[in-house]
Amino acid sequence: MKIKLLSIFLVAFTLVCNAQNYQTVEEVNNACSQLRFSGDEDAEIAVDKILEQIGLFRNFTIQECPDINNAIAKIIESDAGVKERYILYDNNFFNKIDNKAESDWAAISILAHEIGHHLNGHALNNEGSNHKFELEADYFSGISLAKMGATLKEAQSAINTLQYEKATRTHPAKVDRLKEIKRGWNKAKGITTTKTNEEENKEKAFSLYRKGEIAYQEYKYIEAIGFFNQAKDLGSIDAYYYLSNCYDSGFGVPINREKALNLANTGYELGSIPATYQLGNFLKFYGGESDEMAKKQSERLHKKNFIAKWFIEQFEKYKSPIYATEIGYMYISGNGGLEKNKQNSVKWKKTGALLGDPAGQKALAYLYESGDSKYGIEMDKKKAVEWYTIASENGYAEAQYDLATYYYNRSYMGNLFAGTGLYDDDKPDEKDYENALFWYKKASEQGHSYSQWMIGKMYYNAIGVDEDKGEAILWYKKAAKLGNKSAQEKLTELGETW
């Protein structure tokens, strides 16, 4: 081939056309079961170049896998039990077929076909190819090449190199594949305007998804959840990200971390890039200190270098505040393909906060609470409280808990050291305990177990309220049922069950 990248295009796709009929998924499993293979930067560049031209995002990893004599879109389960998307290829096989196509477009069409398998979710069942999957991937290939400027002949050039004309158990007849590529090519060129049911559902799903985003940004969480559920049912995989976030944060629904995790995992397995990042967060923060497998998997997901690109491009397109906040967190941790950069992290978190994202508002509050003059954030308790309050009023349970705890600590510590001069930079107010209880109760209504525990503690120890052991036990039990270990231990100490 004239260009190295295009030789890789040809490799990745001719494999499927010529060799996939003669090699089982089990053989591929045996060859690459431990993922002991290296990536190829040229292959990643090639794939991304195709996707950029048609406005899509890569949601899989490109990896070389020696001795499989093939290229295949595949889901592989990691050691931690989480499935990951790969396009596996054998570089030696690439060399064998490098001279089989007479057109550079043949190579690109092959790679587009393989990408189509992943974007259509064909690899999820790991049962190999069938006629329906192959024709859908051919249709996607035809659309892709038309949008990239290929003629119909060029778009069909790879399939035309096949010598075997008849259908097999896994692949349709050559003539049927050529027809499907033509149908996709005509669709992209506007020659055919009739929409399939799948295309109509896709458009409806996107419209509902955008309505959900707008409602979410306006803090109409229940309405947003309704739109996202409808979008999800019509095939919007990114709707899982927002739904997961709602259950994790208590936006419109009680906090349910198990459901949030399941939604993120489902979205991830379907190929959602934001759900991939979300799942990485959950495995990191909710996996438990001793769960090394969860941490390992979190690191694997967060290293996917297409994640930050997706969030940045989506923010530039739609200015969704939540994306800005997420980018800020990626910069602080060096995730998603970004290098650690605290200055950029502060900038993006500020952007998210100013545009109205509650998580960004909470993040900005914390920046003012801790302070870092090097990055233009001077410690300012007043501003911290202001931003915690804004995030709390916008329904964020974690911010409500932080705000309540600020009031609780200011009153508790201020009274404890009154007159000593040891705690005079943030003097207590007579309404601090009242404010603390108010915001703890707000967070508790959304299922925030630590807030429920703190309310129980206040009633049990008569902190800011009259002592009421019975009321305290009721709050301890609410927290315990949600898994709060402190509440469970306290109830055990008191001889109570939950």
362 and 402 Cβ atoms separated by less than 8 Å? yes
Contact present, 218 and 252 (Cβ < 8 Å) = no
Distance in angstroms (rounded) separating the CA atoms of residues 51 and 143? 12
Q: Using the predicted structure, report yes or no on whether residue 17 has a pLDDT greater than 50.
A: no
- Choice between 383 and 193, residue whose per-residue pLDDT is larger: 383
Given the candidates 1.20.1250.20, 3.50.50.60, 1.25.40.10, 2.40.10.480, the CATH classification of the domain at 195-296 is 1.25.40.10
Which of 41-55, 309-323, 427-441 is predicted least confidently?
A: 41-55
Q: Is the pLDDT of residue 7 over 50?
A: no
- Cβ contacts of 439 within 8 Å, gap of 6 or more: 392, 400, 401, 403, 404, 407, 451
Q: What is the mean pLDDT of the chain?
A: 83
Q: pLDDT tens across 122-151, in order? A: 766 656 678 988 999 999 999 989 988 899
Rounded distance between C-alpha atoms, residue 459 and residue 348, angstroms: 40
d(CA 338, CA 344): 10
Encoded amino acid at 453, one letter: W
396-493: in CATH 1.25.40.10? yes
Instruction: Provide the pLDDT for residue 112.
Output: 83
Q: What angle do CA 261, 262, 265 make, to 5 degrees?
A: 85
How do residues 455-467 score in pLDDT, each as one tens digit? Answer: 999 999 999 999 9
Reported as a pLDDT band with limits 50, 70 and 90, residue 267 is: very high
Rg (CA), the chain: 27
What is the Cα–Cα distance from 53 to 334, expressed in whole angstroms? Answer: 27
**pLDDT for residue 197:** 82
Lowest mean pLDDT among 12-16, 190-194, 333-337: 12-16
Instruction: Kindly report the three-state secondary structure assignment for every residue of the chain.
Output: CCCHHHHHHHHHHHHHHHHHHHCCHHHHHHHHCCCCCCECHHHHHHHHHHHHHCCCCCCCEEEECCCCCCEEEEEEECCCCCEEEEEEECHHHHHHHCCCCCCHHHHHHHHHHHHHHHHCCHHHHCCCCCHHHHHHHHHHHHHHHHHCCCCHHHHCHHHHCCCCCCCCCCCCCHHHHHHHHHHHHHHHHCCCCCCCHHHHHHHHHHHHHHHHHHHHHCCCHHHHHHHHHHHHHCCCCCHHHHHHHHHHHCCCCCCCHHHHHHHHHHHHHCCCHHHHHHHHHHHHHHCCCCCHHHHHHHHHHHCCCCHHHHHHHHHHHHCCHHHHHHHHHHHHHCCCCCCCCHHHHHHHHHHHHHHCCHHHHHHHHHHHHHCEHHHCECCCHHHHHHHHHHHHHCCCHHHHHHHHHHHHHHHHHHHHCCCCCCCCCCCCCCCHHHHHHHHHHHHHHCCCHHHHHHHHHHHHHCCCCCCCHHHHHHHHHHHHHCCCHHHHHHHHHCCCCC
In this predicted structure, what is the pLDDT of residue 303?
Answer: 85
Least confident window among 52-61, 222-231, 309-318, 395-404: 52-61
- The pLDDT assigned to 204 comes to 96
Task: Give 399's contacts (C-beta < 8 A, 6+ positions apart).
Answer: 358, 361, 362, 365, 388, 391, 392
* pLDDT-above-90 percentage for the chain: 53
